[in-house]
Amino acid sequence: MVLELTDAQSAFLAEVTAFAAAEVAPRAAAIDETGEFPVGVMRAAAAHGLLGMTVPKAWGGLGLDYVSYGVAIEAISRASATVGVSLVVHHSLVADLLAHAGRARQKDEWLRRLASGEALAAFALSEPDAGTDAANQQTRAERTSHGYRIIGRKVWVANADAASVAIVFACTRPGLRGQGVTAFLVPMDTPGITRTARADSLGVRGLGCMDLDFDIEVTDEQVLGSVDQGFRLAMWALQGGRVGVAAQALGIGEAAIAEAIAFAKVRQTFGQPIAKYEAVQWMLADVATELEAARMLMWKAADAKDRQERSRVESSMAKLAASEAAHRASDKAMQIMASAGYRRGSTIERLFRDVRATEIYQGTSEAQRMIIAQGILAAR
Ligand SMILES: Cc1cc2nc3c(=O)[nH]c(=O)nc-3n(C[C@H](O)[C@H](O)[C@H](O)COP(=O)(O)OP(=O)(O)OC[C@H]3O[C@@H](n4cnc5c(N)ncnc54)[C@H](O)[C@@H]3O)c2cc1C
């Protein structure tokens, strides 16, 4: 067993870390402040090939393994959690699923453009009454002579502000829940899509979240995978997405620890830096240990994703552990920085808000515990 990155993975990480420091970190505060989708940063990422990290080389991507992708998402999220999760939606939830289940024509039309960054992607699964209970799809896809009419509402669709294409899930067999959902590949300029900006959010501001109302016509050619098999595809995509969110959380947690350490070395009380006090050291030791343990789970889940068809339990464990560890890391960092951190506009204040969503999207922590429990109960 070798728990180290390969030379190629380390070299890619160094490249992405340099990109994040030069192009992402300087813009992170402004993305948070304005709440505007970071079009310029995404263009810069595209120029470095970072919108096609996991896309096979045959479709113009970098064709990287999931461990490389995971460490890249961690490095980018350390600079900006918003940019990190936007890339996770684009890659794990859409491009990977298209590569996995798309027809040759769909890949020719969209995968190349996603890999080059010419097109950005969104994933529309959640509805007002289908969040954790995602199988409760109320959006209906009704049969027409040449395809389907899709009518319904999707909520919290990340990247929707700038996306050119979305994977949209809709019920094709009412009453069958997860057995009767179909996935459709829908260009965002299809007539009949109404976009409504999401109300202001606590963190990962600038993610371009929108609610989407659909009354559209699509053809049979736009079905992704097989009819009625869409829910299974959504769950497949979320396995990769949870590795991505775990990596995002690790990046936020590491940024929080870095802030706290820099502060603890210079802030003096009772005549010495607070880093000298065991009370402060133990907080740092605990959160650094928890993040490192979560990182091992993220690497393990990424490796499982590369090697096996199902990585359901591994990816849920990684997301659960990393998001909760990162939440504690940002909380302890805030405690160490005290009033200096509590100030509106401080970096730790942003990280403290950003980290919270990692315990909510792509399945809440309760949903991850349900998946893990089902997996371990079935296996033993
Ligand atoms: C910033 C952001 C970005 C998002 N981006 C996207 C996106 O791009 N695409 C998309 O489709 N969705 C997206 N979402 C939606 C997200 O996936 C859902 O918010 C999430 O799945 C939880 O659903 P909900 O908010 O409806 O909570 P609910 O399902 O209403 O859950 C409420 C609470 O009840 C708990 N709960 C529910 N059922 C159970 C149970 N059986 N046992 C125990 N506890 C339970 C939950 O854990 C939670 O604590 C995004 C959300 C956010 C906040």
* pLDDT tens-digit series, residues 6-35: 999 999 999 999 999 999 999 999 999 999
pLDDT band at 310 (very low <50, low <70, confident <90, very high): confident
Ligand 1 pocket member 366 (CB < 6 A): yes
**Dihedral sign computed on CA atoms, order 67, 72, 73, 75:** positive
Which of residues 79, 97, 120 is at a domain's end?
120
**Binding site membership of 135 for ligand 1 (Cβ less than 6 Å):** no
pLDDT reading at 309 higher than 80? no
Domain limits for position 103 = 7-120
Residue 2 counted as domain residue: no
Q: Which residue has the least CA distance to atom 30 on ligand 1?
A: 131
CB distance 368 to ligand 1 below 6 Å: no
Q: Give the pLDDT score at 135.
A: 97
Q: Is 361 in the pocket of ligand 1 (CB under 6 A)?
A: yes
Same domain as 263, residue 240: yes
Number of domains in the chain: 3
- Find out whether the beta carbon of 123 lies less than 6 Å from any atom of ligand 1: yes
Alpha-carbon distance 30 to 38, whole Å?
9
Q: Are 334 and 341 in contact (CB under 8 A)?
A: yes
41 within ligand 1 shell (Cβ under 6 A): no
DSSP E strand boundaries for 21-162: 121-124, 140-143, 147-157
| CB of 209 shorter than 6 A to ligand 1 | yes
Q: Among the atoms of ligand 1, which is closest to the Cα of residue 365? A: 47
pLDDT-derived band at 1, boundaries 50, 70, 90: confident
The pLDDT score that the predictor gives to residue 334 is 98
Residue 210 has pLDDT above 90, yes or no: yes
- Which tokens sit at 207? 């993610």
| pLDDT given at position 6 | 97
279-316 core/surface letters (b: 16 or more CB in 10 A; e: else)? ebeebbeebbebbeebbebbbbbbbbbeeeeebbbbbb
Mutate-to-test residue for ligand 1 from 31, 82, 132, highest number of ligand atoms within 8 A of CB:
132
Q: Does 41 reside within a domain?
A: yes
What Rg, from alpha-carbon coordinates, does the chain have?
Answer: 21
Same domain, 14 and 29: yes
Backbone angles phi, psi at 366, to 5 degrees: -65, -40
Instruction: Indicate whether 265 and 351 sit together in one domain.
Output: yes
Q: Would residue 168 be called left, alpha or beta, if left means φ above 0 and alpha means ψ between -120 and 50 degrees?
A: beta
- Report the CATH number at residue 274: 1.20.140.10
Do residue 203 and residue 130 come from a single domain?
yes
Separation in Å, CA 168 to CA 54, 288, 360: 21, 39, 20
Task: Please indicate, yes or no, whether residues 192 and 250 belong to a single structural domain of this protein.
Answer: no
Q: How confident is residue 350, by pLDDT bands cut at 50, 70 and 90?
A: very high
Same domain, 375 and 240: yes
Residue 1 lies in a domain: no
- Closest residue by Cα to atom 52, ligand 1, is 361
> Which percentage of the chain shows pLDDT scores above 70?
100
Cα 71 from chain centroid (whole Å): 13
The answer, yes or no, to whether any atom of ligand 1 lies below 6 A from the CB of 234, is: no
CATH for 184: 2.40.110.10
Asked if pLDDT for residue 199 goes beyond 80, the answer is: no
Predicted pLDDT of residue 84: 98
Tell me: do 285 and 338 sit in the same domain.
yes
Average pLDDT score over residue span 122-145 = 98
- For residues 237-247, one letter each, b for 16 or more C-beta atoms within 10 angstroms of the residue's C-beta and e for the rest, the string is bbbbbbbbbbb
Instruction: Give the pLDDT of residue 374.
Output: 97
Question: How many Cβ atoms sit within 10 Å of the Cβ of residue 266?
Answer: 9
> Would you state the pLDDT for residue 2?
81
Domain-ending residue, one of 213, 230, 247? 230
Q: What is the mean pLDDT of residues 221-247?
A: 98
The reply to whether ligand 1 has any atom less than 6 angstroms from the CB of 156 is yes
SS3 category, 193: strand
Once rounded to an integer, what is the mean pLDDT over residues 273-277?
98
Q: What is the pLDDT, as a whole number, of residue 52?
A: 98
Average pLDDT (121-150) is: 98
pLDDT at residue 170, rounded to an integer: 98
Question: Would you say residue 270 lies in a domain?
Answer: yes
**Half-sphere exposure (Cβ direction) of 129: Cα atoms closer than 13 Å:** 6
355 lines ligand 1 (CB under 6 A): no
Place of tokens 């949870």: 242
* Unique residue bearing structure tokens 């959380």: 249
155 CA from centroid of ligand 1 (Å): 10
Whether residue 156 is contained in a domain is answered as yes
The per-residue pLDDT for 380 is 85
How does residue 101 score in pLDDT terms, banded at 50, 70 and 90?
very high
Q: pLDDT by residue (tens digit) across 30-75? A: 999 999 999 999 999 999 999 999 999 999 999 999 999 999 999 9
Q: What share of the chain is helix, strand, coil (3-state, %, to 5)?
A: 60, 15, 25
Average pLDDT over all residues of the chain: 97
CA of 14 to the centre of ligand 1 (A): 34
Rounded to the nearest angstrom, the distance between the alpha carbon of 372 and the centre of ligand 1 is 17
Cα gap 89→96, rounded to integer Å: 10
Q: Is the confidence at residue 102, as pLDDT, over 80? A: yes
Token pair belonging to 232:
């299974």
Q: Which carries the bigger pLDDT value, residue 23 or residue 198?
A: 23
Residue 337 lies in a domain: yes
Task: Report the alpha-carbon distance of residue 333 to residue 321 in Å, rounded.
Answer: 18
Regarding whether 79 and 104 lie in a shared domain, the answer is yes
Give me ligand 1 centre to Cα 252, in Å: 21
Amino acid sitting at position 262 = A
> Which of residues 92, 120, 148 is at a domain's end?
120
Please state the rounded mean pLDDT for residues 102-118.
Answer: 97
In this predicted structure, the answer to whether residue 308 has a pLDDT above a threshold of 90 is no
